[in-house]
Amino acid sequence: MSEVLWRPGLRFGSYPQKPESRLTDFEQGAAAFFDKIVKRLTRKRYSLTYVVEQVNRHAEPLRHCNEQQLTIAILALREALSRQGLTEVLMLRAFALIRETADRTLNKRHFDEQLFGGWLMINGLLAEMETGEGKTLTATLPACTAALAGIPVHVITANDYLAGRDADMLKPLYLRLGLKSGAVVDGMALEQRRKMYQNAIVHTTNKQIAFDYLRDRIEIGEDTGPLRFQYRQIRQDVTEQKHEALIMRGLCFAIIDEADSVLIDEAKTPLIITQTKPNDESPKTYGDALYLASSLFINDDFVIDAKSRDIELTSQGENTLADMAIGLGPNWKNKRWRETMVKQALIAEYCFKRNKQYILKDNKVQIIDEFTGRVMEDRSWEQGLQQMIEAKEGCLISEQREPLARISYQRFFGRYLKLAGTSGTVREVAAEMHRVYGLHAVKVPTHRISKRRLLSERIYTTQAAKQRMFLQRVNELHTLGRPILIGTGSVAESLEVSDWLEQAGLLHRVLNAEQDQHEAEIIAHAGQLNAITVATNMAGRGTDIALGLGVAELGGLHVIALNCNESRRIDRQLYGRCARQGDPGSCEAILSLEDAGLREFYSSAILKTLTGLANGDQALPAWLGNLILRLPQTYKERHQRSVRRQLSKQDKRLSRILAFSGKFE
C-alpha cells in the first residue's frame, strides 16, 4: 500500500493546500496534546540509534558504487518513491543515497546527528539543533527525499542572503540527484519567479513566498470550488494566457530553517499586499502637520507610549492644535482629520528614527527589519506614516497604498500539507510552536561537545563607562590576535561603535543594512586573525564564520553583545556565531543602564537606585545584572506572545466572515 504523497494530482488538486481549520482554541490545544502523546508512544521511530542503524544498513552497498551505478540507484529510488510514496523503508534508503551523493559532490558527509535531524523533519517534526550543527546540510535529507518523490519542496529561511547562498552551495548535490532547484529572492520579475517555482526544490524567504501566495490568491479571485478552479487551470493551459498564470504550484511541503524567527518573531504582523492610489494629501499638508507637531510639548500636549509606539493628545494639546490650525486650509477645520495627521507626524518624529527603524538609500526611505537588521525592499508603512516620514526626511512623497489581500503567518503556514523545520533556539517557544502550528520539537544531540565559554554579562552605570570598558576589552583581545564580532541593535548603534573604534585606532569592518551588498566578503573575513567586525542582527542568524589559520589555537572567535535584545533567543543566536562544530570560542555582553532597551523599561527612580549600587567604572554584581536583563526580555516575550495570539484570533474571525460571504480570501 502506497503512502499519501503531498503533491499536485487527483487527491489534492492542481494547487494543493490544506483546508482552513475550524477548530476552536480549546479544540486545537486538545488536538496538539493528543498528537504529543502519539509522538511519545512511537518514540522508538524517532530515536537517533534506530535511524542511524537503519540508514547505515542501506548505505553499505553504496560505498563501492561507481558513478554509473550510483545514477542507476538514484533512478530506481526515484521511481520507487513516485510509485509507493514516502514509506519508512524508502525514506531510510533515500537518506543513505543522499548522504553518499553529498559526500561525493559537496565533500560533506552527513553526521549521525544530522541524519536524525533530517528524519525528524521528513516526519513533520521540528528538529532543535544547536547553532553551528549544520542545519543547512541536514535539511537536504528531507528536501531531496520529498523532491525525488515528486513533491514540490519549499526551503524557507530568514533572509535573501541565506536563501541565495544555500541554493548556490547545494546546487551540485541537487543536480547529481537529477533535481532542479533555484532561489526566489527580492527583485525578481514575475515571470522569473513563476519559472523558479516550477523547480523541484525552491529556496526562498518567508516574506517572498507569502507575498507570492497572496498574488496567486488575488489572481484566483472567487474561483472557490475545486471543480471551478480545475476548469480555470485547464482553460488557462489551453489558451496559454501566461499573464494570468499562477506563480506557485501550491503549498505542499515546507522546511523552515530558523523556524523560531520565521514562525514566532515575524508572526506578530500580518502580511498585506497593496496597490498604489493617488495621494489624497499634498506635500504641503505633511509639512504643515510636521510644523504643528514640532510646536507641541511632550507631557503637556501629548503623551508617548514608547513600548507600543503610540501617541495620545491631551485636552490641552487638542485645544492648542485647534488654535494653531486656523488659516491653514479647510481640511484643518475637521477635528478628527486634523488630530490624526498631527498624531502621525508626532509618531514619525518621536517613534521612528533614521538608521534605526529605517535608512535613506537612493534618497528613499527604506524600512529595516528590526529582527534581522536587513532592508525590507518595496515595503511601506500604512495610514500615511510612510509619507509623513518621507516629508520629515525631505524625500519625494510616494503614492499611498491600499490593501488588496492580507494573511498572517499563522494562517499561511497552517495551509501547507506538510510542515517541518529546524532551529537552534526553539525551547523557549516550543509550546507555542506546537499549539499554533502543530510542530512538536525534538532535541538533537550535538555532534561534538561545545567549547563555547559564556562569560557573565557586565552592566555599567553610564554609557561612558561602558565605552571605556568595551574598548579596553577589544584592545586586550586584539593584542592576542583573536577575531572579534561586535553585535549592535541598529544601524545607528553600529555606526556609533565604529566611531569609537576609529578614534581608538582599531581597524575594523561594519556590516549593516547600508553595506548589505558586501555581506559575503565581510563574513568571509570576520574569522581571520586580528579581524574586528561590527554588525547588526544581520550576523545573528544562519551566518557561518569560518576560523582562519591559527585562530583556534588562540581561543577562536570572541563575540561581544552591546545591546539588550527583545528576546533571550536573539542573544543566543548572536553568541552562536562562535564555537561552532567543536571549535573554541567565547562570548559576553557589555551594557549600561543608559542603553535604550533598559531606559524604556525601568523608571528613572529604579535606574537611579541601581546606579548607587556600583562604584565608579565597576560593573553591577553579576546576579543583579542578569536579573536586570531578563526582566525586560521576559516582559517583551510575554507581550509579543499576546500580540500574536490576538492576531491569530482576529485572522480566524476574518476568515469566518470571508467564508460566509463566499470569498476565497
Query: Residue 13, by phi and psi: left (phi above 0), alpha (psi -120 to 50) or beta?
Result: left
pLDDT tens, 459-468?
A: 999 999 999 9
Whole-angstrom distance, CA of residue 462 vs CA of residue 454: 23
Whole-angstrom distance, CA of residue 31 vs CA of residue 253: 21
Q: Give the pLDDT confidence score for residue 521 in this predicted structure.
A: 85
Kindly state the average pLDDT of the residues 69-97: 96
Domain extent, residue 350, equals 279-398
Q: 443 among the known binding-site residues?
A: no
Q: Give the pLDDT confidence score for residue 474 in this predicted structure.
A: 97
Q: For residue 395, what is the DSSP state?
A: P
Q: 467 among the known binding-site residues?
A: no
Q: 582 among the known binding-site residues?
A: no
C-beta neighbour count of 270 within 10 angstroms: 18
Same structural domain for residues 500 and 612?
yes
Q: 53: which residues sit within 8 A by CB, 6+ positions away? A: none
3-state DSSP assignment of residue 111? coil
Q: 544 among the known binding-site residues?
A: yes
How many distinct structural domains can be found in the chain?
3
Count each helix (H run) and each strand (E run) in the chain, helices first: 25, 20
Q: Give the pLDDT confidence score for residue 316 in this predicted structure.
A: 93
pLDDT tens, 609-651?
A: 888 887 777 899 888 888 999 999 888 888 888 888 888 877 7
Same structural domain for residues 263 and 387?
no
The pLDDT > 90 percentage for the chain reads 49
Kindly state the average pLDDT of the residues 132-150: 95
Kindly state the average pLDDT of the residues 425-437: 89
Q: Is the dihedral of CA 312, 315, 320, 326 positive or negative?
A: positive
Decide if pLDDT at 243 tops 50.
no
Whole-angstrom distance, CA of residue 119 vs CA of residue 140: 11
Q: For residue 399, what is the DSSP state?
A: P
Residue 332 resides in a domain: yes
Mean pLDDT of the chain: 87
Q: Give the pLDDT confidence score for residue 556 in this predicted structure.
A: 96
Same structural domain for residues 388 and 511?
no
pLDDT tens, 295-345?
A: 999 989 999 887 677 889 999 999 999 988 887 878 888 899 999 999 999
Same structural domain for residues 211 and 339?
no
Same structural domain for residues 350 and 421?
no
In contact, 558 and 536? CB cutoff 8 Å: no
Same structural domain for residues 472 and 344?
no
The pLDDT > 70 percentage for the chain reads 89
Q: CA gyration radius for the chain?
A: 27
Whole-angstrom distance, CA of residue 102 vs CA of residue 109: 6
Look-up: residue for cell 557589555? 590
Q: Give the pLDDT confidence score for residue 213 in this predicted structure.
A: 94
User: Which CATH number fits the domain that encloses residue 312?
Assistant: 3.90.1440.10
Q: Give the pLDDT confidence score for residue 455 in this predicted structure.
A: 92
Q: Give the pLDDT confidence score for residue 233 in this predicted structure.
A: 56
In contact, 153 and 257? CB cutoff 8 Å: no
Q: 133 among the known binding-site residues?
A: yes
Decide if pLDDT at 226 tops 70.
no
Kindly state the average pLDDT of the residues 399-405: 78
Same structural domain for residues 166 and 34?
yes
Q: Give the pLDDT confidence score for residue 520 in this predicted structure.
A: 77
- Three-state SS string over 581-613 comes to CCCEEEEEEEEECCCHHHHHHCCHHHHHHHHCC
Residue 198 resides in a domain: yes
Query: Residue 264, by phi and psi: left (phi above 0), alpha (psi -120 to 50) or beta?
Result: alpha
Whole-angstrom distance, CA of residue 632 vs CA of residue 637: 8
- What's the length of the chain? 665
Same structural domain for residues 237 and 363?
no
Same structural domain for residues 259 and 295?
no
Of the candidate ranges 61-65, 222-226, 252-256, 549-553, the one whose mean pLDDT is the lowest:
222-226
User: Which CATH number fits the domain that encloses residue 532?
Assistant: 3.40.50.300
pLDDT tens, 566-575?
A: 888 888 888 9
Residue 651 resides in a domain: no
**Tell me, what amino acid is at 246?**
L
pLDDT tens, 473-484?
A: 999 999 999 999
Kindly state the average pLDDT of the residues 160-174: 94
Of the segments 69-78, 301-310, 522-531, which one has the largest average pLDDT value? 69-78
For the chain, first and last CA: distance in Å? Answer: 36
Same structural domain for residues 420 and 463?
no
Q: 135 among the known binding-site residues?
A: yes
Whole-angstrom distance, CA of residue 4 vs CA of residue 6: 7
Q: How far is CA 184 from CA 7, 9, 237, 603, in A?
A: 20, 24, 24, 46
Give the confidence band of 166 by pLDDT, cuts at 50, 70, 90. very high
Residue 134 resides in a domain: yes
Residue 47 resides in a domain: yes
Instruction: Give me 634's grid cell.
Output: 521576559
Q: 650 among the known binding-site residues?
A: no
Same structural domain for residues 348 and 461?
no
Q: Which has the closest alpha carbon to 214: 410, 415, 404? A: 404
More confident residue, 101 or 431: 101
Q: Give the pLDDT confidence score for residue 266 in this predicted structure.
A: 83
3-state DSSP assignment of residue 152? coil
Q: Give the pLDDT confidence score for residue 228 in this predicted structure.
A: 56
Decide if pLDDT at 236 tops 60.
no
Residue 19 resides in a domain: no
Q: 231: which residues sit within 8 A by CB, 6+ positions away? A: none
Give the confidence band of 661 by pLDDT, cuts at 50, 70, 90. very low
Whole-angstrom distance, CA of residue 38 vs CA of residue 204: 32
More confident residue, 22 or 17: 17
Cβ-in-10-Å burial (0-12, 13-18, 19+) of 576 comes to buried
Q: Cα dihedral angle (228, 232, 234, 238), rounded to 10 degrees?
A: 150
Same structural domain for residues 248 and 359?
no
More confident residue, 190 or 220: 190
Tell me the sheet residues that pair with 272.
406
Q: Is the dihedral of CA 362, 368, 373, 374 positive or negative?
A: negative
Residue 482 resides in a domain: yes
Residue 662 resides in a domain: no
Look-up: residue for cell 525551547? 427
Decide if pLDDT at 174 tops 50.
yes
Tell me the sheet residues that pair with 588.
560
